[in-house]
Amino acid sequence: MIREEADMAEDTGRGASRRAFLKGSVAAGGALLGAGAARAAEPDPLITEVQPWASGLGEGVDATPYGLPIRFEDDVIRRNVEWLTADTISSINFTPIHALDGTITPAGCAFERHHSGAIELKKEDYRLMINGLVDTPLVFTYADLERFPRENHTYFLECAANTGMEWAGAQLNGAQFTHGMIHNMEYSGIPLRTLLHEAGYSGETEGKWVYVEGADASSNGRSIPMEKALDDCLVAIKANGEALRKEHGYPARLVVPGWEGNMWIKWIRRIEVMDGPVESREETSKYTDTLADGTSRKWTWVMDAKSVVTSPSPQSPITHGHGPLVITGMAWSGHGRITRVDVSKDGGKTWETARLAKQGENKALTRFYLETEWNGEEMFLQSRAMDETGYVQPTKAQLREVRGENSIYHNNCIQTWWVKENGEAENVEVS
Amino acid sequence: EGGSTFGIGRPALPEEIAAWDLDVSPDGTGLPEGSGDVWEGEAAFEESCAACHGSFAEGVGNWPKLAGGQGTLDDKDPVKTVGSYWPYLSTVWDYVHRSMPFGNAQSLSNDEVYAITAYILYSNGLVEDDFVLDRETFDEVVMPNADGFIVDDRPETEYTKWRTEPCMEDCKETVEITMRASVLDVTPGEEGGDDGGE
């Protein structure tokens, strides 16, 4: 028995306008295709008639020196939610995760989060300073950075606020909006420890911090404990094989594996070794998590294990009718590798262990699949990630029990999609 | 550790460090010479800040409120401002100096930043109207929520609970929808109530 709660509509005053869902195409497809392949009644003209692309010519190799996706994929784009922020400069957009597969996020549609816009900083104008408690404060040019030994690592970057709009209820209808403040790229960069060593840093960790800031007006300064700085942080100069995109910090950004995206300082211009944290705006006013009793957690750096089904989902409904269905999604953990993802089709009553496309990688996205048979039954799809520490992704109720509803950040709850008999899916909360 | 280095880069000059190393720590380390009072701050705030943050720092539209909200942090909808939430005065000085006004950052003199900070404190009822902020009086200001923060305690309050083998079958009796995003209907779309991305 489904009980629907409609009182949220009154809060917004926007009413419950329903879209005309796919104009009946789902029902038609469902009727056409049974469990097996349907026999064609007529020969398919796409096969029996010579098509223009099989006869004429395509584009020359000089047509596209640097290409964009084919126009039929023009819905696989970043999206903005206007009402979330006061303006579009200090704001966020969302990766179209509902339409992607595998784990690598194409940089051109990988989400952006700026506090004073995406600045243009050319390599010739770039300077990186290391100062503070080091033997020799140094200035590097971009060309200097390219002369240090490099490492390659793939990591997820998840905004601390990803899924943050969902704390108080089911709000945005699509995985792109609920879980799309994330991207996963292969970075080439210089270990931060190499640069600190170059400045003659002693390597002491006890009570020592680095304060890192960007070249943009917001500066986005954050304090990072020295243990992390010397462990796996990188100053990245390439992502997914090419220079960083302007909006992702060109020509250099900090990579802080497993930790909240805010700390991945873009357009990085200065690293200061200090005796304590600066307690900057981005680690006091913001990126602190208020609990039900009014106290707030600070320095909640790690992003806990999380997952989401990306298809089917509200933006990726089932349109192929009954029969074989691929349920897919992604999982990640700031504590290390994903070891298992379970999927439920009945809202968490029963769970099946999904197939990981590849063994989980350290602090990187992992793709999962559950191949199943769907015959038009209503489903409440959920996914539940486990990481190598044995941590199991919690429900929203479990999170709320500890934190209340005003944490804003770090919402790694289990997501539910209500897949209806016509294949449409909706973001819901279930008991 | 010592050891060999690559000999890449060159020493930073004092003027360069002074130009970029502007951060101010909670104990006031990093504050430059200068001062400003509440009335100077009111004038500077009106000129540089009030269009977005309101004449009384109360916020305009969706722009941040800088004053008010004290005692609301455990409410259903807390109002988090400098007065109600921020733990350190240093952060106000540092952030205003480096990153405000929005769109024209690093345009305020040190004295203007002292004055604007004094005015924000006054707007929050934290100082009297004759208050003068400088490096000496910086220590006198008590931020109401200074003790309102705890260091990340997830290892104790969450990880210990949730590192257990999860239920796989018969995990609950019933599953009922308690909330629907389509009822709220605030998702952007290409037309009408359509979700983006289709």
* pLDDT tens sequence across B93-102: 999 999 999 9
CA Rg, chain A, in Å?
24
Q: In chain B, positions 82-121, which contact chain A (CB-CB < 8 Å)?
A: 82, 85-88, 90-91, 94-95, 98-99, 102-103, 105-106
Q: Give chain B positions within 8 Å (CB) of A176.
A: 196-197
Q: How far is B193 from chain A (nearest CA, A)?
A: 6
Residue of A284, A295, A307 to mutate, testing the B interface (most B Cβ within 10 Å of its Cβ): A284
Q: Cβ–Cβ of B180/A426 closer than 8 Å?
A: yes
| Complex ipTM | 0.94
pLDDT level of residue B1 (50, 70, 90 thresholds):
very low
Q: Cβ–Cβ of A294/B23 closer than 8 Å?
A: no
Q: Is residue A155's pLDDT more than 80?
A: yes
Burial (0-12, 13-18, 19+ Cβ within 10 Å), B28: middle
pLDDT level of residue B3 (50, 70, 90 thresholds):
low
Domain ranges of chain A: 79-172+180-298, 306-428
Task: Tell me how far apart the alpha carbons of residues A256 and A93 are, in angstroms, rounded to a whole number.
Answer: 21
Helix, coil or strand: residue A175: helix
* pLDDT tens sequence across A73-83: 999 999 998 88
CB A216 within 8 A of CB A115: yes
Residue A3, pLDDT score: 34
Q: How far is B164 from chain A (nearest CA, A)?
A: 7
B191: closest chain A residue by CA: A19
CATH topology of domain A306-428: Immunoglobulin-like (2.60.40)
Sign of CA dihedral B9, B12, B16, B20: positive
Residue A181, pLDDT score: 98
Among A284, A384, A405, beta carbon nearest to B88: A284
Q: Is residue A247's pLDDT more than 50?
A: yes
Q: Give chain B positions within 8 Å (CB) of A211.
A: 23
CATH topology of domain A79-172+180-298: Sulfite Oxidase; Chain A, domain 2 (3.90.420)
Task: Tell me how far apart the alpha carbons of residues A346 and A416 are, in angstroms, rounded to a whole number.
Answer: 10
A405: closest chain B residue by CA: B76
Task: Tell me how far apart the alpha carbons of residues A91 and A78 are, in angstroms, rounded to a whole number.
Answer: 13
Q: Cβ–Cβ of A170/B184 closer than 8 Å?
A: yes
Q: What is the number of alpha carbons within 13 Å of residue A77 lying toward its C-beta?
A: 15
Q: How far is A239 from chain B (nearest CA, A)?
A: 23
Q: What is the number of alpha carbons within 13 Å of residue A212 lying toward its C-beta?
A: 26
Q: Is residue B194's pLDDT more than 60?
A: no
- DSSP character string of A296-330: EEE---BPPPEEEEEESBTTB---S-SEEEEEEEE
Q: Give chain A positions within 8 Å (CB) of B162.
A: 391-392, 394, 398
Residue A85, pLDDT score: 84
Q: Cβ–Cβ of B149/A295 closer than 8 Å?
A: yes
Q: Cβ–Cβ of A129/B197 closer than 8 Å?
A: no
Give pTM, 2 decimals.
0.92
pLDDT level of residue A311 (50, 70, 90 thresholds):
very high
Mean pLDDT within A231-255: 98
- DSSP character string of A398-418: HHHHHH-S---S---PPPEEE
Instruction: Decide if B160 touches A, using CB distance below 8 A.
Output: no
Task: Tell me how far apart the alpha carbons of residues B91 and B97 are, in angstroms, rounded to a whole number.
Answer: 10
Q: Cβ–Cβ of B25/A276 closer than 8 Å?
A: yes
Instruction: Decide if B188 touches A, using CB distance below 8 A.
Output: yes
Task: Tell me how far apart the alpha carbons of residues B116 and A290 are, in angstroms, rounded to a whole number.
Answer: 27
Task: Tell me how far apart the alpha carbons of residues A101 and A330 are, in angstroms, rounded to a whole number.
Answer: 9
Q: Point out which residues pair with A417 in neighbouring strands.
A: A381, A427
Task: Tell me how far apart the alpha carbons of residues B47 and B121 are, in angstroms, rounded to a whole number.
Answer: 17
φ/ψ of A397, rounded to 5, equals -65, -40
Instruction: Decide if B18 touches A, using CB distance below 8 A.
Output: no
* pLDDT tens sequence across A17-51: 334 333 333 443 444 444 456 788 999 999 999 99
Percentage of chain A with pLDDT > 90? 88
Other CB atoms within 10 Å distance of the CB of residue B185: 22
pLDDT level of residue B119 (50, 70, 90 thresholds):
very high
* pLDDT tens sequence across B18-70: 999 999 999 999 999 999 999 999 999 999 999 999 999 999 999 999 999 99
**Average pLDDT along chain B:** 93
Mean pLDDT within A266-285: 98
Task: Tell me how far apart the alpha carbons of residues A253 and A239 are, in angstroms, rounded to a whole number.
Answer: 10
Residues 6+ apart with CB under 8 A from B7: none
